[in-house]
Amino acid sequence: MELIHQFSSGLFIIQSVIFLALLFLLGKFAWKPILKSINDRETSIVDALNQAKLARKEMETLKEDNERIIREAKIERDAILKEAREIKDRIVGEAKDVAKTEGDRMIEAAKQTINAEKNAAMADIKTQIGTLSVNIAESILKQKLDNSEAQNELVQNYLNKSNFN
């Protein structure tokens, strides 16, 4: 059984018309919406990629800004610490100067007080020695000058000494 197919032009035309109608219907109702959804999808993907690029650029910018802010903060921190050290050194130096000046003033005041007390003590000692000397001389003279002959001899010696000086 052999099937022989013969070409039928009527069948060919009908099948061609059906095929073209099917293509028309598919083009009108199926291809346009499919192509439109594909184009919409492509557009949304491109938009998403562009937004991702923008987000990446923003993240890089934020990262650079953060690094810059951190660098500036470190520089400011270092400057504040340096200034604090300088202030501390200046305050310590001023305190040392004030303490030295105050110490020198106290030492000088103590020296003056010591000298004043020493001079007062020396004057007191001289006064006491003078009084004691006068008392001793008075006692000695009273004993020696009990008789008039000793008095005359003492006056004579005194006069002789005063003539030579």
| 136-158 residue pLDDT tens | 777 776 766 666 777 777 777 77
What pLDDT, on a 0 to 100 scale, did the predictor assign at position 132? 77
Cα–Cα dist 114/108, whole Å: 10
What pLDDT, on a 0 to 100 scale, did the predictor assign at position 130? 80
pLDDT in tens, 32-84: 788 888 999 999 999 999 999 999 999 999 999 999 999 999 999 999 999 99
User: Are the C-beta atoms of residues 153 and 147 closer than 8 Å to each other?
Assistant: no
Q: How crowded is the C-beta side of 44, counted as CA atoms within 13 Å?
A: 6
What pLDDT, on a 0 to 100 scale, did the predictor assign at position 165? 47
